[in-house]
Amino acid sequence: STQEQTPQICVVGSGPAGFYTAQHLLKHHSRARVDIYEKQLVPFGLVRFGVAPDHPEVKNVINTFTQTARSDRCAFHGNVVVGRDVTVPELQEAYHAVVLSYGAEDHRALEIPGEELPGVFSARAFVGWYNGLPENQELAPDLSCDTAVILGQGNVALDVARILLTPPEHLEKTDITEAALGALRQSRVKTVWIVGRRGPLQVAFTIKELREMIQLPGTRPILDPADFLGLQDRIKEVPRPRKRLMELLLRTATEKPGAEEAAPGIRLAVTRLEGVGEATRAVPTGDVEDLPCGLVLSSIGYKSRPIDPSVPFDLKLGVIPNTEGRVVDMPGLYCSGWVKRGPTGVITTTMTDSFLTGQMLLQDLKAGLLPSGPRPGYAAIKALLSSRGLGSL
């Protein structure tokens, strides 16, 4: 059939998930055409607007993505918000298959009093601000305070802490925005507390980011040795990567101790841990600790949003329900990346899962499970957009 000759496929979102899915489809099907729709004017998602400016080596994947975009069977259409400018059913009409790779655009809220106060931001917004994400350019964080508190202990928390503490002359060499650089030059922030509910064994950051933090010029790590009591023995049992991370933390805690005096500021509940392994929970002890600070950044995770009423969405897990990338009960609809697995994992994790989605789609195509007959692809969407007074780039 014609479909076998030219499968028309579209991908929603141009981050790593969108590009790696497109790459797989183009590589393993010699005639497939892939259109990538993106709400921003420019491609690459969090590689452009998330990855820290002092991690240029991570951004090298942009070269691979650009190769994909250069294929004459691939097109990038920026400035199209799927779910608003064009619906998912409209895309399904125009294409044989649709892949949703729109990432996690929201942040998880703390849901505690004070979250809306001035000086309290999500790390997502702060990251968007220093990376030039258009919607965050008005953030204007007040950096005239001495101390910032980051809630959460993942790699994003360390990125944010590092950007706050890196000498501006080092950031000058990066592609951080001029506005952010200007604000950071004026910054008075000297101390950054990185707060977690659980203990050192449960931190979510990785050793590379920890090492960068410990070695930051002009900065001294402050770890409370009391938090590490009894851990020496327990780390023998944990998997090797975490063991190495723990050893570095322990070494740092014992070599460079020193807790600082705290005057009132943010109030933290002191917790103790219950349970073992992944199920370890933090339970409030009833004690509180006050930390002085003028800036609070909550860095407890990103969150995907539903894109279109026609697409199932698991609000609790924040993902599109799927089996290996096939959206449940929606033939011809697929997903990849953070919206498929939830907002964790590095770019290579996203690559692996996007290749898998691409593989499932091609299997379905081969098995004749996708609509037959030709599909108009972009021509139909272009007409729809212009009938609405909209245009893509």
The residues in 240-259 that bind ligand FAD, with binding defined as CB under 6 A, are none
Longest dimension (CA), the chain: 74
What HEC string does the chain produce? CHHHHCCEEEEECCCHHHHHHHHHHHHHCCCCEEEEECCCCCCCHHHHHCCCCCCCCHHHHHHHHHHHHHCCCEEEECCCCECCCECHHHHHHHCCEEEECCCCCEECCCCCCCCCCCCEEEHHHHHHHHHCCHHHCCCCCCCCCCEEEEECCCHHHHHHHHHHHCCHHHHCCCCCCHHHHHHHHHCCCCEEEEECCCCHHHCCCCHHHHHHHHCCCCCCCCCCHHHHCCHHHHHHHCCHHHHHHHHHHHHHHHHCCCCCCCCCCEEEEEEEEECCHHHCEEEEEEEEEEECCCEEEECCCEECCCCCCCCCCECCCCECCEECCEECCCCCEEECCHHHHCCCCCHHHHHHHHHHHHHHHHHHHHCCCCCCCCCCCHHHHHHHHHHCCCCCC
Residue 255 · residue 137 · CB < 8 Å: no
User: Which candidate, 213, 221, 208, 219, places its Cα nearest to that of 57?
Assistant: 208
The residues in 261-300 that bind ligand FAD, with binding defined as CB under 6 A, are none
Whichever of 273 and 356 has its CB closer to ligand FAD, that residue is: 356
Scanning 12-20, 139-147, 162-170, 224-232 for contacts with ligand FAD by CB under 6 A, the matching segment is 12-20
Binding mask 295-334 for ligand FAD (x = CB under 6 A): -------x----x---------------------------
Scanning 49-57, 225-233, 276-284, 379-387 for contacts with ligand FAD by CB under 6 A, the matching segment is 49-57
Whichever of 147 and 299 has its CB closer to ligand FAD, that residue is: 299
Catalytic residue among 29, 347, 353, 381: 347
Whichever of 132 and 337 has its CB closer to ligand FAD, that residue is: 337
Tell me the site size for ligand FAD, rule CB under 6 A.
35
> Exactly one of 10, 23, 34, 45 binds ligand FAD (CB under 6 A); which one?
45
- Catalytic (active site) residue 55: yes
55 sits near ligand FAD (criterion: CB under 6 A)? yes
Scanning 25-33, 37-45, 177-185, 253-261 for contacts with ligand FAD by CB under 6 A, the matching segment is 37-45
Nearest distance in Å: CB 52, ligand FAD: 6
For residues 300 and 107, give the distance between their C-alpha atoms in angstroms, rounded to a whole number: 8
- Catalytic (active site) residue 347: yes
Binding site residues for NADP(+), as ranges? 153-156, 197-198, 209, 345
> Exactly one of 7, 9, 10, 13 binds ligand FAD (CB under 6 A); which one?
13
345 sits near ligand FAD (criterion: CB under 6 A)? yes
Q: Going by C-beta distance under 8 Å and a sequence separation of 6 or more, which residues neighbour residue 278? A: none
Scanning 51-59, 180-188, 259-267, 319-327 for contacts with ligand FAD by CB under 6 A, the matching segment is 51-59
Nearest residue to ligand FAD, using CB?
A: 15
- Catalytic (active site) residue 348: yes
The residues in 64-93 that bind ligand FAD, with binding defined as CB under 6 A, are 81-83
Q: Which two tokens stand for residue 284?
A: 């409030």
Scanning 32-40, 313-321, 366-374, 384-392 for contacts with ligand FAD by CB under 6 A, the matching segment is 32-40
154 sits near ligand FAD (criterion: CB under 6 A)? no
> Exactly one of 6, 58, 179, 314 binds ligand FAD (CB under 6 A); which one?
58
Summarize as ranges the residues that interact with ligand FAD (CB under 6 A). Answer: 12-18, 37-40, 45-46, 50-51, 55, 58, 81-83, 101-103, 105, 127, 156, 159, 302, 307, 337-338, 345-347, 350
> Which residues are identified as catalytic?
55, 159, 347-348
